[in-house]
Structure formats: structure tokens, C-alpha cells
Amino acid sequence: MPALDESFKRQIDGTAALAKKEAAAPRRVLRGSRRRAKKLPLRDTVDRLSTMNDPLFTDAVCARAAVASGALRGRALEQRLQAVPKAQRDAWLDGLLALPELPPDDPRLPAGAVPYLPCEVAVIVQALREAPVSASDVFVDLGSGLGRVVLLAHLLCGARATGIELQPHLVAHAQRSAALLGLAGVHFLCGDATRSPIDEGTVFFIYASFGLSSLRRILSRVQPLSARRRITLCAVDFAIPKTEAPWLHARPSSRPELVFYDTLTTG
């Protein structure tokens, strides 16, 4: 059994410092969004990391090695993930994916841009399962952060997956994780999600709306794709007004924060 991953354990101290910063900082409201963006509290992440025992740390490292070798994918990986106690599942997954502690946002982030909002693993897994995402899909995460959603979409479903993120340091971390895991089917692009290439996408994932003006630009780019193939958009913690996209049909999920929007038009 490999030695305990000390870099993973150091997430506790780094995340604790960020949690104190978050507690002292004022809440940000996204202008033009339907409601305040729901951020996974850093203090909750601290609790998960602090309560993970050494066997779970070691198990995450062992699972990482199995993923890197190509031996752990799909249903087997999901079963191993679900076997981790719920309160520690997000921290375990970040250890498996070799993701760093939650970094601060780039101080040069444009006004009105969405800050880094890590999505809970339970929501991600449910979105992939219920969309559903398959190996024939091209999965696109608009605002991919550290790449957790993109990496899981590829590992659990076999889909080609692309993450688009505005903050360069987050993209660099995501690319490093993909390289460490030896994943050729994932790509991370640094750029504005409203302008970056999305032409091959079949399933799009958005966690917390970009704000109405940016959402309109994204929808205007996705709509032409629906004339050629079926498109599914996974929306977490926001809703798309019917007036903004009458060509999409809302489909509820098993979780209140997750809604699917489908178009049945095919080319």
C-alpha cells in the first residue's frame, strides 16, 4: 500500500485559512442572475478533510493509482466513490483527482464574472446519471474551475470532455490533474465561456448562472447546434426563463437544485 499522500493532507491547513477569509468577506451577488450563487462553504470542506482518517486518505491515493493505470473507470469507480462516507466524499474525490486546496480567485477577475464555485460531488454524479451522459457524448463544462466535473464526466461515462474556465491558474491546476491521471480524453481551455469553441458539445454543464447577459450569449451559441443534434443543458442552482430559450424543454431531476433543458431537434 503506498505511503500517505502528504500533499493531500496539507489541504486541511490551506483550506482552513481560506475558510477564515470567506467568513470575513462580504457575500457576492451575481448581477442579473436569478438568485445568489450557492457556493460550497470552505468551512464544510475543512470539516470533511479534518475528519478523514488515514485509511481513507490512503484509499484515495490507491484509487488515484488505479485510475492512472486505466483499471478504475465507469461503474466500478462510481461504486468505490459511493462507498466513501457521504460527509467525506468530496474530500476523498479531490484526493483521487489530485486537486489542490481551494484557491482564491484571481484578483484580476472582471467585474460581474462568477467566482470559483466548486460543485458538490453528489450533484455532479446525479447530473451525469440523469442527463444521461454516455461515451458517445461530448461534455462541455462552462466555467470548469479546477476540473472536477470534467474529469468525472470522462471517468464515469467515457465521454470526451472539455472544460472552459476564465481563470488561468485554475486551468493550470486542472490540466495538471488530467496529466497526472493520464487522461487523453479531457481538455481544458482558458477563455471566456461565452466566446470559446463549443461546436462539438452535446451536453453542457453550468453551475450557478453567469448572469443574464452572459447566459443569453451562451444560449445564442447553443441554439444553432440544436438544429443538428439533440442538446442537453444541465443547470445547477439557477433556472433558464422560458422566454429566454423557448426552444428548450425543462426536465426536472431527482434533486431540487438540478434542472435539465433538452431539445429534441435532430439533424
Q: At what angle do helices 89-96 and 74-82 cross, to 10 degrees?
A: 140
pLDDT beyond 50 at 28:
no
Structural domain boundaries, residue 143: 6-263
Alpha-helical regions (H) of the chain? 6-9, 11-24, 42-51, 54-69, 74-82, 89-96, 121-130, 148-157, 168-180, 212-226
Name the CA radius of gyration of the chain, rounded: 18
Q: At 2, give phi and psi (nearest 5°).
A: -65, 160
Domain presence at residue 69: yes
Mean pLDDT of 240-259: 96
5 Cβ neighbours under 8 A, 6+ residues apart: 57, 58, 60, 61, 95
Domain presence at residue 246: yes
Domain presence at residue 17: yes
Domain presence at residue 1: no
Nearest 10 degrees: Cα torsion 78, 258, 101, 115: 160
Q: Whole-structure pTM over 0.85, yes or no?
A: no
Domain presence at residue 129: yes
Return the closest-CA partner of residue 192 out of 162, 165, 169. 165
Banded model confidence at residue 10, pLDDT cuts 50, 70, 90:
low
Q: At 198, give phi and psi (nearest 5°).
A: -135, 10
pLDDT beyond 80 at 114:
no
Mean pLDDT of 105-126: 86
Separation of alpha carbons 144 and 236, rounded Å: 13
96-105, 112-121, 162-171, 220-229: the lowest-pLDDT one: 112-121
Tally of domains within the chain: 1
Domain presence at residue 39: yes
Amino acid letter for position 253: S
More confident residue, 131 or 110: 131
Res 55: pLDDT? 87
